[in-house]
Amino acid sequence: MTASRLLALALAASALSCASSPVALRRTARVGDAEARLHVPETFEPLAPGSVYPNRRMPVPAEGRPGVLLWPDASSGRTERSLAVTFLAERGIVVLELPPGGPSGPPAAALRDAVAAFGAFRESRGAPVAVLAFRPGPGVVEAVLDETALSAAAFLGFDPPAARAVRGAGRLPVLVATLHAGPGEASELSRRLTALLGRSPVERRYLEAPDGGFPPEAARDVAEWLAAVLAEGAPGR
């Protein structure tokens, strides 16, 4: 990761940190052979019965909140991952963050372990689960598309060469965020994912940040989409 990219992401993270953290507590958890970090969001009593607005003077323990497995690639930096965690936690989502590169074993086995872990955590038990993967390879994408317990998936940085290598199939809602894809690349990616999913993916395209990476709003947009899909509840099959 370039120095300019680190600076841009650090500035974005600093802006977010000016407000109080939306994460109430953090602890470690095992996923396959990897040590993951569980981020539990702050949750509150409603301002009034039936209200969607929180009473921030009355925090309550998180229970049965939707979960997102954060699967970063080996190049993903701490600040990039922190932005995603913050945006997801702001929306009341429990985040299980894998280390950069993920577990060393088969992606499908690690994914099953993660889904089982969400079911065991009091904070997310019984709630829908999704995946947010940074620049995933074909093996991770195949495992995600084949996992029937998921409700949605978002791929932040996924290119046509990787899509051509995917042999999985699934029906869950998928969002794909890309950088500076030309018209030919974008249409190829859309066609390939439509063939795999049996439906068109949600596509978001972003101009490169000055550092050459995704702008911070990409993680925000993905978090908003995941929160909306997870609010619908059941796995998307």
CATH architecture of 3-43+60-230: 3-Layer(aba) Sandwich (3.40)
Helical (H) or strand (E) element with 218:
helix 216-230
Q: Name residue, tokens 């939707």.
A: 66
Per-residue pLDDT reduced to its tens digit, 54-65: 767 777 777 889
Q: Name residue, tokens 């249409």.
A: 187
Per-residue pLDDT reduced to its tens digit, 162-198: 777 777 667 789 999 988 766 666 677 778 888 878 8
Whether the CB-CB separation of 124 and 67 falls below 8 Å is answered with yes
- The burial of 56, by beta-carbon neighbours within 10 Å (0-12 exposed, 13-18 middle, 19 or more buried), is given as exposed
Whether the CB-CB separation of 145 and 166 falls below 8 Å is answered with yes
pTM attached to this predicted model:
0.83
Per-residue pLDDT reduced to its tens digit, 13-55: 444 444 578 887 788 888 878 899 999 988 777 777 776 667 6
What are the domain boundaries of the chain? 3-43+60-230
Say if residue 90's pLDDT is above 50. Answer: yes
Residue 32 CA: distances (Å) to CA of 74, 107, 144: 17, 9, 16
